[in-house]
């Protein structure tokens, strides 16, 4: 009886520990912006909310690289799907909590050498990583 209880405990413990080992995608989960009023010197601010925070080493001033995942089907190779992870810009953290942070646009890659996107700005669902120099 004791042995079966110990086995059950070990199995449940291993299952519980394995649930925490999956990598979590860090992404932009919300966007807030000023409403444009049409004034000549109007500055439209925009905040990006990410699910990375001080528990992940994020603090005010940290630069985050933003990526967009693009999936295209190749009609010439058995309609095989090709996935791309393309950098689209950087965010600068202006406020960080334990598990989330708020960032502002630092740089948006939209030169002639960068890939073309349907939406030329960050959007909900874009992946975020800490920029390491």
- What is d(CA 52, CA 88) in angstroms, rounded to the nearest whole number? 18
User: Is residue 65's pLDDT more than 70?
Assistant: yes
Q: Locate 100 and state its tokens.
A: 């989330």
Q: Locate 74 and state its tokens.
A: 């190749």
- Tell me the average pLDDT across 109-131: 83
- Tell me the average pLDDT across 101-128: 86
DSSP output for 50-96? ES--GGGT--TT-EEEEEEEEEEEETTTTTEEEEEEEEEEEEEEEEE
pLDDT tier at 17, thresholds 50, 70, 90: low
Q: Which residue has the tokens 């070990």?
A: 10
Q: Locate 32 and state its tokens.
A: 């807030």
Query: So what's the pLDDT on residue 97?
Result: 94
- What is d(CA 116, CA 111) in angstroms, rounded to the nearest whole number? 9
Complete domains list, the chain, with CATH: 23-36+43-130 (2.40.10.410)
Q: How many CB atoms lie within 10 A of CB 95?
A: 15
- Whole-structure pTM value: 0.73
Q: How many CB atoms lie within 10 A of CB 28?
A: 20
User: Is residue 32's pLDDT more than 80?
Assistant: yes
Query: So what's the pLDDT on residue 16?
Result: 63
> Which residues touch 19 (CB under 8 Å, ≥6 apart)?
none
Q: What percent of the chain is predicted at pLDDT more than 70?
A: 87
Query: So what's the pLDDT on residue 2?
Result: 60
- Tell me the average pLDDT across 69-94: 88
Query: So what's the pLDDT on residue 5?
Result: 73
Highest mean pLDDT among 74-78, 84-88, 111-115: 84-88
Residue 85 phi/psi, 5° resolution? -120, 100
């Amino acid at each position: 009886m004791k042995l079966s209880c110990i086995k059950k405990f070990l199995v449940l413990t291993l299952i519980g520990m394995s649930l925490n080992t999956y990598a979590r995608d860090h992404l932009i989960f919300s966007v807030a912006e000023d409403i444009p009023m049409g004034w000549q010197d109007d500055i439209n601010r925009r905040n990006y909310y990410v699910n990375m925070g001080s528990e992940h080493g994020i603090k005010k001033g940290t630069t985050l690289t933003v990526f967009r995942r693009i999936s295209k089907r190749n009609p010439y190779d058995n309609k095989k799907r090709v996935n791309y992870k393309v950098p689209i810009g950087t965010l600068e953290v202006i406020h960080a909590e334990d598990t989330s942070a708020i960032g502002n646009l630092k740089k948006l890659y939209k030169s002639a050498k960068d890939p073309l996107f349907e939406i030329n700005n960050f959007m909900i669902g874009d992946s975020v990583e800490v920029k390491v120099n």
